[in-house]
Structure 1
């Protein structure tokens, strides 16, 4: 591994130098263990501790198959899917690996007694399998997390419709929280060279998800002038949704939980802010069994005060159960509620009269296809959309990083250093970086 790191750190190493490197027989990786899936039985969700279930193990390097690549991972990041994996909710991910393993002899490699987690990375290609022509050893890359087989016709209009669509590092093995990751070559994209390794790794999953959910014709199909309600507008997903709304000429109405987060939204250029802690929205009764339509009405009135009397064109929904009824209500006639994730609960409830009688649409959105991911990464590389990295941990501290995300003690994205020995490495376009330094660091230390 040291020889690999030396080559990456050198400005003189050639593609031939990388191609001649000897691959290690094993490497460090963050894992959950199949024999521990019952460790949190009977424990409330918030009390489940990822520090107990996430391990840093030495694991064997898998066999590289056709259309695949090994990447030396310089940095990765924490997403909610890693939190869910670590607390074995809503289901154990080993079921995903078992089903994938039954697909073919090649996919059987993923069905192991341990699951290497992580759905983001930045790093350098070390080797490619048969049939890969676009990427070569030495290429500096980031990876999106869509894993598809594309052997069925359904996926060839939109790869997200592939019956074998999976999220790498969550529904597949060999994820990005490791010194080496195995990905399909069509997951790779060029690393934005004005960013450090940890900055470049952090947008991945949430940036691509926000792009499809809000911008793409497969999601909200946002246009200039749209009023966009963004829940958690300074968070991992919402921080990118806010940027896309501003960058695309829309009007974000940013819902946040405190003044510090409101200031982040204002620093991005947003002007319409709803601070939940100040206005104390109570969409549900104390028992969580019944919603309060008067609170929906109060939210709608507050939105119209900010917009000059206009209602919401698109709701960027990801909290789920807590907010969904309100989201459906405040959307204008003919408007759209785009939904993913559901971090406050998957069982949504809303009054269907406000949906059907007003011709509103609920559009589901789940990650992004390769084209959408490429476009989202291209905007990062152009300096039009920026990372939301707030803090970085070491690989050994991944459990703590996941716990902080689990308890919502983070802001934006939380990064993890893998092979990179320290923060701040990996920048090649220093001139461009200087132009955007304030925006790149907007979330730092928050």
Structure 2
């Protein structure tokens, strides 16, 4: 959610990759220029052994995914950067579809940490791989400023009182939460207060 909005705020053209078709309109509403459903492709998981029949099948599907990107960017126009967090399931494709000289930035490994990729397409095309654990303090402050200035929507789907924390956890556990973020009020009398000054004023 934030990656799409920050990319748009910076003047980039974000493409969202979803696994649930019901999220397409939501991602577009955040500023994406296009959306691709990864369930339309079967090139996910660790990279098969190079030269094997399984690799040939993977390669054909990865190219098909790349062509879906071209449907958004224009024929032959690969993406400058891939920002990803699934890791093991998606990294082989991410490192394949990013443009020559482009970068894959990953911030997690939610599908697994044993990341694989075809090294030939990285060294021969001078691609870069960058790990990221969000930001340093200055960057975090600037990202927060985007929210305060309403250039980035925090995408709050639901706000809970402190006593409702178990309900919030249950919704996450059962995957019943709406798209977006959930938050819990801490020392705030009500939702919608944007600054410390607002909270102090509301508490008087």
The answer, yes or no, to whether TM exceeds 0.5 is yes
Does the CA contact (< 8 Å) of 2:146 and 2:152 recur in 1?
yes
Q: Distance in 2 between matches of 1:426 and 1:311?
A: 39
For 2:188 and 2:172, locate their aligned partners in 1 and report how far apart those are by CA, in whole Å: 22
Q: Could you say if the C-alpha distance between residues 329 and 388 of structure 1 is closer, same or farther in structure 2, counting changes exceeding 3 Å?
A: same
> Given the alignment, which residue of 107, 110, 132 partners 1:340?
107
CA distance in structure 2 between the aligned counterparts of 1:407 and 1:295, rounded to whole angstroms: 32
Question: What residue in structure 2 maps to residue 294 of structure 1?
Answer: 60
CA contact (8 A) 2:47 2:117 kept: no
**Which has the larger share of strand?**
1
Q: 1:257: Cα distance to partner? A: 2.3
Partner-residue secondary structure (3-state), 1:354: helix
Asked if the contact 2:44–2:90 (Cα under 8 Å) also holds between the matched residues in 1, the reply is no
Task: State the Cα deviation string for residues 359-411 of structure 1 (Å, max 9, x = none).
Answer: 10001111211111111111212221121111223334434434544565442
Cα distance in 1 for residues equivalent to 2:194 and 2:4 = 27
Secondary structure of the equivalent of 1:387? coil
Q: 1:273 is paired with a residue of what secondary structure?
A: strand
Answer yes or no: is the 8 Å Cα contact 2:47–2:118 preserved in 1. no
Unpaired runs of 5+ in structure 1? 1-238, 430-446
Once the two structures are TM-superposed, the CA of residue 276 in structure 1 deviates from its matched residue by 2.9
Structure 1 segments (4+ residues) deviating >4 Å: 406-409, 424-429
1 CA distance for matches of 2:66 and 2:165? 40
Normalising by structure 1, we get a TM-score of 0.39
Report the Cα distance in structure 1 between the residues aligned to 2:27 and 2:137, rounded to whole angstroms: 29
SS at structure 2 position matched to 1:251: coil
- Which of 24, 29, 32 aligns to 1:262? It is 24
Q: Is residue 323 from structure 1 mapped to residue 90 from structure 2 by the alignment? A: yes
- Is the contact made by 2:82 and 2:104 (CA closer than 8 Å) also made in structure 1? yes
Which is bigger in relative contact order (C-alpha 8 A, separation at least 6)? 1
Q: Which residue of 1 aligns with 2:133?
A: 366
CA distance in 2, matches of 1:407, 1:360: 39
Gaps of at least 5 residues in structure 2 are 49-54, 199-204
Instruction: For residues 273-324 of structure 1, give each alpha carbon's deviation from its aligned partner in whole angstroms, at most 9, with x where no partner exists.
Output: 11234x2x22247xx7846222211111111121112001100111111111
Retained in 1: the 8 A contact 2:82–2:103? yes
**How big is the shift at 1:357?**
1.2
Secondary structure of 2:158's match? Answer: strand
Alpha-carbon deviation of 1:424? 4.2
Q: Which residue of 1 aligns with 2:13?
A: 251
Give the CA deviation at 1:417: 2.5
What TM-score comes out, normalization by structure 2 length? Answer: 0.80
Measure the CA separation in 1 of the matches of 2:194 and 2:72: 42
User: Deviations along 1:62-101, whole A, 9 cap, x unmatched?
Assistant: xxxxxxxxxxxxxxxxxxxxxxxxxxxxxxxxxxxxxxxx
Q: Tell me the distance in 2 between the aligned counterparts of 1:409 and 1:294.
A: 36
SS at match of 2:191: coil
- The change in CA–CA distance for 1:352 and 1:408 in structure 2 (over 3 A counts) is farther
Aligned CA-pair RMSD:
2.5
CA distance in 1, matches of 2:23, 2:132: 25
Residue 414 (structure 1) aligned with residue 182 (structure 2): yes
**C-alpha deviation, 1:259, in angstroms:** 3.4
